[in-house]
Amino acid sequence: MEKLKALRYFAYTIEILVFYMVQETPGLVPDLFGARPVLLIPIALSIAMFEKETASMVFGLLCGLLIDFGAGGVLGFHGLLLSVICYSVGLIAANLIQTNFLTSMLIALISTASVILLQWVFFYLLFGYSHAVYALTAHYIPRFVYTIVIMPVAYYFNRALALQIRAKEE
């Protein structure tokens, strides 16, 4: 049983690393209105939908730190945000809600909007840039939309992975 859990965690880690490489490879993911998606946010959220809160937090931290490395911003900003969000999602998914496509999209909308709005607030608004609203409308909102479009793929992939390995556990 522990062997299959380790296999599932290993598969999640490989998935995160592959999507990180896809996200960071220039020209591999096409731009949409000048924005590129943050692929690791939907990956972290979809993993959190199928794991307990501690494992969700660890994978959220890993995804967040990789986003920080790739973005070249403040190290730990996304790590902290995604670890708290994924811990909450794991706790909610295990105890309060039924995990399905609709709830995963709702959680993705709220969580991704929170992360991207906090990026804008901390990196543009608080620094007093004169064109902060332009940055929001021209860069951050298209990034949000593009990231949300990836969520169904991440959800169904991680759902199939979690159900397939858990079926072997029983």
Report the distance separating Cα 2 and Cα 25, nearest Å. 35
User: What are the C-alpha distances in Å from 68 to residues 24, 97, 154?
Assistant: 12, 30, 20
| Token pair recorded at residue 40 | 């690791």
Spell out the residues 6+ positions from residue 150 whose beta carbon is closer than 8 angstroms to its own.
37, 39, 42
Q: Are residues 143 and 35 in contact, defined by beta-carbon separation less than 8 angstroms?
A: yes
**What number of H helices and E strands is found in the chain?**
7, 0
The confidence band for 78, taking pLDDT boundaries of 50, 70 and 90, is very high
Give the least confident one: 9-18, 45-54, 119-128: 119-128
Fill in the DSSP letter of residue 51: S
In the chain, the percentage of residues whose pLDDT exceeds 70 is 96
Quick check: 4 pLDDT over 90? no
Confidence category of residue 120, pLDDT binned at 50, 70, 90: very high
Average pLDDT along the chain: 90
Q: Has residue 33 got a pLDDT over 80?
A: no
Transcribe 86-131 into DSSP letters: HHHHHHHHHHTS--SHHHHHHHHHHHHHHHHHHHHIIIIITTT-TT
Q: Could you tell me the pLDDT band of residue 1, with boundaries at 50, 70 and 90?
A: low
Q: What is the pLDDT of residue 169?
A: 62
- Rounded mean pLDDT, 72-97: 92
Assess whether pLDDT exceeds 70 at residue 170: no
Name every residue whose Cβ is closer than 8 Å to that of residue 80 and which is 6 or more positions away in sequence. Answer: 64
Query: So where are the chain's domains?
Result: 2-23+34-169
pLDDT at residue 130 tops 90: no
pTM, two decimals, is 0.92
